[in-house]
Amino acid sequence: MQNCVAAIFKHQGYDVAEIPDDKPRQLISSNGCLKVWLVDRGCVTLLCTEEQEQLYNGDCYIIQYSYAEDGKDYHLFLAWFGQDSVQEDRVATVSLMSSMADSVKGRAVVGQVLEGREPELFFLVFKSLIIFKGGRSTAYKNSILQKSNRTEQYQKDGAALFRVQGLRPDCIQAIQVHLAASSLNSSHCYILQDGASFFTWLGSLSSPSDHVLLDRMMDKLCPLKQSLLVREGSEPDRFWTTLGGRSEYSKEKCVKGWPTDPHLYTCTFQQCLFKAKEVFSFSQDDLATEETLILDCGEEIFVWVGLHSGVTSKEHALDFGKMFLQAGIARDGPRSINDTTVYAVAEGDEPAFFTSFFNWDSSKQAAAMLGNSFERKLAMLKGLSPKMETPDRSLRKSSSRRQEISSEPTTPEQQQQQPAAARRTFGSASAGRTARERLPPPSSAASASPATPSWSLKSRASSSPSTPATARRLFPSSSLHAPGTAAAHLPSPTAIGSPGRRR
């Protein structure tokens, strides 16, 4: 009973000793490798180890976190947009991030994050992080010159105010805020810099664990510097003078809200109309390979793309998430892309921070099975093991695959005899073998075709008319088109259509 009452008081913001502080979830391995690139004029610059923990709110960055989990290599790519960054840099960042993700081996997941709305996952990949005001990119500097009122920028020997926060002692952040007393909050701790002097301010509602984070961040932000400890209510005059004078600020306890219940939606985009339908009591089995689904977790959404869906690139998948937010499908109405983190996850590349929302069974991992949903379920009902083959999601060996496909009959007579499904085959090695198996009796070139696969293209076409004849690989988009054609960036009315879900 005592613990129940203590839990109620703690949720209301009171510091209760009987209840230990909530620990952050283990969303991702802490033994990964971090790389950070600054985006400037459509190019990227790799930052050194020291600089990669110092970001500027006028710039855009690409964060790559590579780690191993369950014997598999994962790569998390995040595009981080500073609040004062310009649109030119933001567009370039997403495009460059997608290209970088396409070039790595292993399972790649991409995400888009705005400053001030970062999820816990973002901070967990950094050991410590300092976000300064200002920027280094050319586009940002040009935009500042065109503004009449210059924005605040960090100066090493100037005045600055930092809010200190963190998930745990080895995961702390210092965020530079507006230099004014109104930026203070009794729930937080702050570092006030005035040239070579420093104040550490303890809010009256801050906890002892917050004070530990403050001391650690002082060692990061200004090593070998002594600071004057100031408790709320006992500030010296110089403290207020540096902030530009006294003013009102928030003195209410900041309480972290309860996690939002996740909701799963199956989505289509046909005839320039975006549609979504909620899947109630969802499970892993609802992730059909022909469809694109969105897992809405409130402040984060995951765009899950099946291998047989019509979404053709990472950028395309992120755009799908933007349409979902703008359409106001969720119960709280339309949301801004600036308030929500969007991830794109391909079938077979699901990381633990996605699968944790399901009762996940890795033996059902669809990326290891060839065939559509009907064929997979039929094989399971018959007790058969479908032919297992790990798809090459990067599709870097496009030239060799085109050679395999080029061994198809190329004369007009042979092409006329070739089935339409085979003619639509994309640059997948397994799809090419299927197309050759469906050809008429071999003449000279077709006699060297590989052995017949254990599944048929005919059953796929008959089971779902709107499903593509062969598995369209999500990454990269350039491999999804014949040589000489361009990949569509925006969704087309027919490309994203997915078959109806039976309930």
CATH number of residue 175's parent domain: 3.40.20.10
Q: Which residue has the tokens 């190019």?
A: 43
Q: Say how many domains are in the chain.
A: 3
Q: What's the pLDDT at 384?
A: 57
Helix (H) or strand (E) holding 93: helix 87-102
CA distance 293 to 277: 9
Task: Return the HEC string of 364-414.
Answer: HCHHHECCCHHHHHHHHHCCCCCCECCCCCCCCCHHHHHHHHHCCCCCHHH
Domain shared by 271 and 232, yes or no: no
Contact 300, 335 (CB under 8 A): no
Residues 6+ apart with CB under 8 A from 280: none
Q: What's the pLDDT at 224?
A: 81
In the numeric block, which tokens belong to residue 28?
Answer: 């991702």
Residue 66 sits in which domain range? Answer: 32-138
Using the predicted structure, report yes or no on whether residue 122 has a pLDDT greater than 90: yes
Q: What's the pLDDT at 376?
A: 65
The residue out of 199, 228, 255 marking a domain boundary is: 255
* 388 domain-assigned: no
Task: Return the HEC string of 293-338.
Answer: EEEECCCEEEEEECCCCCCCCHHHHHHHHHHHHHHCCCCCCCCCHH
Domain shared by 224 and 314, yes or no: no
The residue count of the chain comes to 503
Using the predicted structure, report yes or no on whether residue 333 has a pLDDT greater than 90: no
Query: Region 177-190: what's the mean pLDDT?
Result: 96
DSSP-derived secondary structure letter, 203 = -
Strand residue runs (E) in 323-425: 341-346
Using the predicted structure, report yes or no on whether residue 389 has a pLDDT greater than 70: no
3-state secondary structure of 96: helix
What are the beta bridge partners of residue 129?
173
Domain shared by 162 and 248, yes or no: yes
In the numeric block, which tokens belong to residue 17?
Answer: 């000793």
Domain shared by 103 and 181, yes or no: no
Pairing of strands 228-231, 128-132: unpaired
Q: Which of 102, 121, 54, 109 is nearest to 82 (CA)?
A: 54
Q: Residue 66 — very low, low, confident or very high, per pLDDT cuts 50/70/90?
A: very high
From first CA to last CA, the distance across the chain in angstroms is 43
Q: What's the pLDDT at 25?
A: 62
Using the predicted structure, report yes or no on whether residue 401 has a pLDDT greater than 50: no
* 127 domain-assigned: yes
> In this predicted structure, which of 123-132, 173-182, 345-354, 369-378 has the lowest mean pLDDT?
369-378
Indicate the residue type of 395: L
DSSP-derived secondary structure letter, 369 = B
CA distance 63 to 87: 18
* 387 domain-assigned: no
* 47 domain-assigned: yes
> In this predicted structure, which of 52-56, 273-277, 327-331 has the lowest mean pLDDT?
327-331
* 10 domain-assigned: no
Domain shared by 352 and 281, yes or no: yes
The residue out of 227, 255, 283 marking a domain boundary is: 255
* 448 domain-assigned: no
For 139-169, what is each residue's pLDDT tens digit? 999 998 887 666 778 998 899 999 999 988 8
* 211 domain-assigned: yes
Query: Region 429-456: what's the mean pLDDT?
Result: 36
> In this predicted structure, which of 196-210, 318-332, 455-469 has the lowest mean pLDDT?
455-469
Using the predicted structure, report yes or no on whether residue 459 has a pLDDT greater than 60: no
* 168 domain-assigned: yes
Domain shared by 247 and 267, yes or no: no
For 264-323, what is each residue's pLDDT tens digit? 999 988 878 888 999 999 999 999 989 999 999 988 999 999 988 888 888 999 999 999
The residue out of 138, 166, 184 marking a domain boundary is: 138
> In this predicted structure, which of 2-11, 240-249, 461-470 has the lowest mean pLDDT?
461-470
Q: Which of 163, 303, 182, 160 is nearest to 246 (CA)?
A: 182
Domain shared by 209 and 111, yes or no: no
CA distance 9 to 32: 37
Q: Residue 464 — very low, low, confident or very high, per pLDDT cuts 50/70/90?
A: very low
Domain shared by 36 and 127, yes or no: yes
Domain shared by 158 and 250, yes or no: yes
In the numeric block, which tokens belong to residue 33?
Answer: 């490798």
CA distance 499 to 466: 6
Q: Which residue has the tokens 């077979």?
A: 348
> In this predicted structure, which of 189-193, 204-208, 219-223, 480-484 has the lowest mean pLDDT?
480-484
Domain shared by 125 and 78, yes or no: yes
Domain shared by 267 and 313, yes or no: yes
Domain shared by 60 and 99, yes or no: yes
Q: Residue 59 — very low, low, confident or very high, per pLDDT cuts 50/70/90?
A: very high
CA distance 368 to 316: 23
> In this predicted structure, which of 74-83, 192-201, 218-227 has the lowest mean pLDDT?
218-227
Helix (H) or strand (E) holding 422: helix 420-423
In the numeric block, which tokens belong to residue 251?
Answer: 């003195």
Give the residue, 7 or 340, on which the prediction is more confident.
Answer: 340
Q: What's the pLDDT at 27?
A: 80
Q: What's the pLDDT at 455?
A: 31
Query: Region 20-34: what's the mean pLDDT?
Result: 73
